[in-house]
Structure 1
Amino acid sequence: MKSLRLLLFTLSLVILTAASVPGFTTTALAEPASGKTYQIGTDITFPPFEYQDASGDFVGIDMDLMEAIAKDQNFKFEIKPLGFNAAVQALESNQVDGVIAGMSITDERKQKFDFSDSYFDSGVVMAVRSDQDAVSSYEDLRGKKVAVKTGTEGYSFAESISNQYGFTIVPFDDSVQMYEDVKTGNSLACFDDYPVLAYGVKQDNGLKLVNEDQKELGGSYGFAVSKGKNTELMEKFNTGLANLRASGEYDQILEKYIGENAEVAAKQGRLELIIDSLPSLLSGLGKTLLYTIISLFFACIVGLIFGFMKVGRNKWLRGIATVFVDVFRGIPLIVLAFFIYFGIPQAFDFTMPLFLGAVLTLTLNAGAYVTEIIRGGIQSVDHGQMEAARSLGVPYRKAMIKIIIPQAIRIMIPSFINQFVITLKDTSILSVIGLVELTQSGKIVIARTFASFDIWLVVALMYLIVITILTKIANRMERKISHG
């Protein structure tokens, strides 16, 4: 019990600490104004258009444009840092009112979304590792692998020439993963939007551009809303954009991030980088623990209900509990997350809070496993004890409560701790629907710093420390039970 109290105190301290540091909140609000607050989805791992700075603020060309347009048109907005693919799906399922994420205007996307006037004309370039001198043209890619980011102009262009030049496409969900694949030598080159790659090279991301002056024509970026919806927001965006162009503020924003005098991040030592990144990572760890604890609380309630149904005498209830376990243990967590957060709201036309979607996903998944833990714990108690209690005239329910369950709980405690560990690790999967937990916090920091090794090492150590504590407690409880 002392170990358990120490664990609960430690977890509470981490959560409270994370809640108090900058960047714990995952939204940014424009200046107060009258009327509706619009929910805007974005991808904050796409510098220089959108990323999170060391202070935890959302910055970049898109973020500054959105802020300036909101101020010009007097409306409020809230940023939802979902990631590009999740942001697009959130817009399809009406989870957000609009998306600004360096999103190219294409004929295919026009079938589902309404786009604003173009606010940036892009282009596609190729990059290789900074010490790679063997690539000077697309012909040098023959028989090699090329990394691309899904949903981008770079992906579309690479796909259009892959057969001609005989290379294999390797898709990634964000730019940092794509760059790392090239830096590690798994892929020879990558294609990406010119301003994004040029910004990364300028920030010393370990790559260099190939034939920078010969960039391919790319698409235009636009702000998107669902087809036929939020026309007022679209009109405000277009009007505000026109006003920014006329006043010169638009050019100032571009100059700030991609002009000749654009700021270059100061070089940081390894220790300084880690210290500066700790607030964001602690915030992510706090959310990981918070979502884990809340989800397991409800999972235990669900598990108790279905667990007793599985060991009950009613065959219909046993059948229902069996179906519940089979369904939610059989569906991969990532598929369940997509279905709950994107599929259900789209089918029934309502908005689901991210918190609810994440907790519901983890609860149903963990609940199925908790059901089996409870069933196994109860059935592991010698059946002769129930028979003895019944022979003495003790009712079935009272025998379960007074005799069987107390023994089963002792057996189940280590398994509950193990399930806590599993659920804690499973929260990292929910970054696909926009949950900014520890893993996603690491991705966001890396998008700004390009320091993959250092940040992933810290993230791994954070997981390792928490999980080791939980494992030690589980082992200690198991020893006490076996000797008790």
Structure 2
Amino acid sequence: MAALGLLLLGLAPAASAAALAEGESGSGETYTIATDTTFAPFEFRDASGELTGIDIDIMEAIAEDQGFEVEWQSLGFNAALQAVQSGQADGVIAGMGITDERAEIFDFSEPYFTGTLTLATTEDNAEAIAGWEDLEGKTLAVKTGSLSEEEAKTQQEQYGFEITALDQTTTMVESVKSGSADALMDDYPIIAYGVEQGSGLVTIGEEIPTGDYGFAVNKGQNAELLEKFDTGLAALQESGEYDQIVDTYLGGEDDGVDKSSFTGLIVTAMPALLSGLGNTLLVTGISFVLAMVLGLAFGFMKIASNPVLRWVAITFISIFRGTPILVWAFFFYFGLPQLIGTPVNIWVAGVMTLTFNGAAYIAEIVRGAVQSVDPGQAEASRSLGLGHGKTMQKVVLPQAFKMMTPSLINQLVIMLKDSSLLLAIGFAELLYQAQQIYAANFRVTEVLLIAALLYFIAITALTQLANYVDRKVNK
């Protein structure tokens, strides 16, 4: 517990308000801008993990032109809107459509992008499906509750196609690529960026205008920031920099890599996946060491003669074995800061989650191994004049550790795989990085296969290393 406390103090970040105050004390103002986490090509993370996209580049360019600094909050779309409404952020830019309903809550900038819908299908189907008229008797995938679903329903009676409503763009793309649907309809920039990244789709038919995107601030607040955005946007458009930014993400640049090939996917995706793998191994290693310390302590406490120690151990083990690991991930990252009044670093939250869960299982491994040693050996040891401590040290524990080693190796592997659950709180482990990649290029199956291979290699290597240490120590 002391180690965890030191880790918490060492890794916990300063509050964003302090960072904001520091920025304001400098030469230029600092504004906190909220955005979505993954909405390529408007906002997403590149291979190095940096936040990028059309929205990000436009805002950074405007900030440079107008002489202020930007502190980003990548929160998810709904959370980003709530951050602005609660005053935690000064503004939001997240591919946000300007609507009458939102205009009652927010003040919008001048439009910086006009959204459109487009149809798309696989390259193999492109000749047979060139537009709405070719969809008769076929299936069209749309996003549930979106403008694409509304538009599809208005066209359905005329063109006679079936509608399949799905929750995510990646799911829609996989449905078309697998043949479950013949085509899909979604926002043009998202599909166009996926095409650029080698998703295997092509756009078909004419684009359908849906509305404008705008930067937003709270109603009646931050008028100065809104004015700076409009002035900077006009300057970008006049200089041509705006067009350069948009073209960067919608096919205006070629980096020489064939992203449609599997080799191209590996080249572009591997840096981020290896970074995620490194985080996975590191958080698992730290957690396993701490879990061993706690597990040994609680394991011995559970077989102690003191009833208070046994009760404490039983309570700890029951709580962390009897509740889902995701509950504790959310608690340590979102709930604990509200209790202690300070932010908790995501690494600390991840380590605490894996440590306490792993310690509960290791405690039972220790208890079972110690109790599996023949009681007659302890009795014989004590009959020779050895006390309880020496008997445990010289007779019981050496045999117990030999018996528990295979189970401990298995627990290490389980903890490594359980680390993938930390993606739910945004921890940048391997599976999180895979999600970030396929959310941008829609190549779900291929990216997950690469991630699975990396998991297999890491777990196999870790198991072989652990078995080697076991043979050396317990020979």
Q: 1:199 aligns with which of 193, 200, 209?
A: 193
**Whole-Å separation in 1 of the counterparts to 2:30 and 2:295:** 38
Which residue in 1 is equivalent to 2:226? Answer: 238
**Whole-Å separation in 2 of the counterparts to 1:89 and 1:473:** 48
What percentage of residue pairs aligned between the two structures are identical?
A: 41
Which residue in 2 is equivalent to 1:47? Answer: 40
> Larger Rg: 1 or 2?
2
Which residue in 2 is equivalent to 1:68? Answer: 61
Q: CA deviation at 1:64?
A: 0.8
- TM-score, normalization by structure 1: 0.73
| Counterpart AA for 1:169 | A
Is this contact kept in 1: 2:41–2:440, CA < 8 A? no
Q: 1:110 to 1:320 in 2, by over 3 A?
A: farther
Supply the RMSD in Å over aligned alpha carbons: 4.5
Q: 1:199 to 1:477 in 2, by over 3 A?
A: closer
**Whole-Å separation in 1 of the counterparts to 2:98 and 2:339:** 26
Q: Are 2:178 and 1:184 aligned?
A: yes
Which residue in 2 is equivalent to 1:298? Answer: 290
State the secondary structure of the residue aligned to 1:278: helix
| Counterpart AA for 1:379 | Q
Q: CA deviation at 1:289?
A: 1.0
State the secondary structure of the residue aligned to 2:120: strand
Q: 1:357 aligns with which of 332, 349, 352?
A: 349
**Whole-Å separation in 1 of the counterparts to 2:155 and 2:367:** 54
Q: CA deviation at 1:450?
A: 5.1
Is this contact kept in 2: 1:33–1:75, CA < 8 A? no
Q: 1:341 to 1:206 in 2, by over 3 A?
A: same
State the secondary structure of the residue aligned to 1:213: strand
Is this contact kept in 2: 1:135–1:141, CA < 8 A? no
Is this contact kept in 1: 2:38–2:44, CA < 8 A? yes
Is this contact kept in 1: 2:62–2:236, CA < 8 A? no
Is this contact kept in 1: 2:98–2:213, CA < 8 A? yes
Q: 1:148 aligns with which of 143, 149, 156?
A: 143
Is this contact kept in 2: 1:104–1:153, CA < 8 A? no
Q: 1:408 to 1:221 in 2, by over 3 A?
A: farther
Q: Structure 2: any 5+ residue segments left out of the alignment?
A: 1-22
Q: CA deviation at 1:433?
A: 1.6
| Counterpart AA for 1:179 | V
**Whole-Å separation in 2 of the counterparts to 1:480 and 1:313:** 34
**Whole-Å separation in 2 of the counterparts to 1:344 and 1:36:** 31
Q: CA deviation at 1:470?
A: 2.2
**Whole-Å separation in 2 of the counterparts to 1:261 and 1:480:** 57
Q: CA deviation at 1:41?
A: 5.8
Q: Are 2:21 and 1:59 aligned?
A: no
Q: Are 2:382 and 1:382 aligned?
A: no
Q: 1:294 to 1:91 in 2, by over 3 A?
A: farther
Is this contact kept in 1: 2:33–2:91, CA < 8 A? yes
Q: 1:218 to 1:141 in 2, by over 3 A?
A: farther
Q: Are 2:166 and 1:170 aligned?
A: yes
State the secondary structure of the residue aligned to 2:427: coil
Deviations 1:113-160 (A, max 9, x none): 9676465453444434343446955996999683638xx845885899
Aligned length: 442
Q: 2:329 aligns with which of 332, 337, 353?
A: 337
Which residue in 1 is equivalent to 2:12? Answer: none
| Counterpart AA for 1:405 | L
| Counterpart AA for 2:165 | I
| Counterpart AA for 1:181 | S
**Whole-Å separation in 1 of the counterparts to 2:90 and 2:57:** 18
